Amino acid sequence: MDRSEVRQEIALFCRQLILSQNAVRLCDLEATPKQEEFLHQVFKEELEHRERLRKVRLFQKAAFPVRKTLEGYEFQALRLPSTLQTDELTSCQFVRDKKNLVLYGPVGTGKTHLAIALGVKACELSMSTRFFTAASLVTRLSESKRAGSLERTMKELEKADLVIIDEWGYLPMDREEAQLLFQVIAASYERRSLIITTNLEFSKWGGIFTDDQMAAAMIDRLAHHGQLIVFEGESYRLKHALMRQK
């Protein structure tokens, strides 16, 4: 890297570090090439340090129950729609495009693994992510509403680029709880990505959420900018449990 390129990168680092361009001016007036290289290295390492800390904070806020990755994930075990490519998933382009994913299939077929792995990838790409089970999210929203802090909780969710809601529809809920979940779906519409994992087909959502009309409104918002990924085959956990028995 020649001296002009070093100075250009110092100018870029100053903008990223929210510093004035005075360091570039001083380099031009007084610095030796070695001094410029040292300053370049200091700024570069400071930015890398800040990025590492940012990712630590992103993972802490995401609150994944376990850390899963996309490495070795068997994508042939699921059926993607023709409008969704595997690299759109693995690059988290769907998050940048504010698209939703509904991961649908039987228990134990890898839905939660994929949801977490995509969330982990999003954090690695410096995207703000939150992970909840449907039950834990409803509990948090209900407690916030009783405490008079629902608006603050909703604003915290709205800061996320990606919200993952696992085990959607596994447990029935009352009308108030369903309305709180609907608020999350409505507030996220065209503003951020949602990943929902469920073993419940759309036609049965009304029975879980106590209201066919509300369920239809949820599905409409999720589907408008969304993709349905279907998981097929037998339970991974059951298959490996049987192998252990043998």
Written as tens digits, the pLDDT of the chain (246 aa) is: 778 888 888 888 888 888 888 888 887 888 888 888 888 899 899 998 998 999 999 999 999 999 999 998 888 888 899 889 999 999 999 999 999 999 999 888 889 999 999 999 999 999 999 999 999 999 999 999 999 999 999 999 999 999 999 999 888 888 899 999 999 999 999 999 999 999 988 888 888 888 888 889 999 999 988 999 999 866 555 444 444 444
Using CB atoms within 10 Å of the CB of residue 232, give its burial: 0 to 12 exposed, 13 to 18 middle, 19+ buried.
exposed
C-alpha 120/C-alpha 183 separation (Å) is: 25
The Cα 17–Cα 31 span in angstroms is 20
Check if the beta carbon of residue 79 is closer than 8 Å to that of residue 232: yes
For the whole model, what pTM was predicted? 0.84
Amino acid identity for residue 54 in this structure? R
DSSP characters for 5-34?
A: HHHHHHHHHHHHTT--THHHHHHHHT--HH
Neighbour-count burial for 111-141, b at 16+ CB within 10 Å, e otherwise: bbbbbbbbbbbbbeeebbbbbbbbbebbebb
